[in-house]
Amino acid sequence: MDEVQNIPHFEKLVDGLFATENTDVYITGSNASLLSSELATSLSGRYIEISILPFSFKEYLSARKIDTSNKYLNYEALFFDYVNETLLPKGVELRESGYDKIYEYLEAIYTTIIEKDITQRHQINDKRAFSNIVKFVSSSIGNPLSPSNISKTLKQDGQNIHHTTIEKYLEYLVESFVFYKVNRFDLKGKKQLAT
């Protein structure tokens, strides 16, 4: 069942099929309304989740049919392509069509996930602030983030958003696989409670 989240009360159908003897059920979904936390509740733990991630560099080279046994291969240029084009399978297909097509594809994914799935699902009214937070987090990949600091920065721009709202926005982005959270490892004891 593809894009099962479009079927109202799909959980009941899946539950019914699960009870049928000699039946395997595979469901797919590509947006924020089909999340593992909800599946755990609605399907009562009778499922195995398989997350499909973007290509690793090795998979990207394989998809482009690049012979990695060539000792004169320019990995630096290939890695530049990997990072700057896209590491999604469809993006690799679109390479021949040019960067404009890849950009259109990425823009459509962004619009679907950020502007439709997350903002509609969580009824985010301040779309400008949410968009600014997404841009800020995107430009800060690999750096520590603090909802309080983001809130202070937005206040300087005339956008008054409480840090708890920003924390919720960040949770929405993480649960939708837009970003991955990496917890700090250098905190011990009481410092963990204060951060």
Domains within the chain, CATH numbers bracketed: 4-42 (no CATH), 54-97 (no CATH), 98-186 (1.10.10)
What local confidence, expressed as pLDDT, does residue 118 receive?
Answer: 87
Continuous H helices in 30-74: 36-42, 57-63
Could you report the average pLDDT of every consecutive run of 10 residues in the chain (195 residues)?
A: 73 75 76 56 67 88 92 92 85 88 89 84 88 91 88 86 92 87 74 61
Tally of helices (H runs) and strands (E runs) in the chain:
11, 0
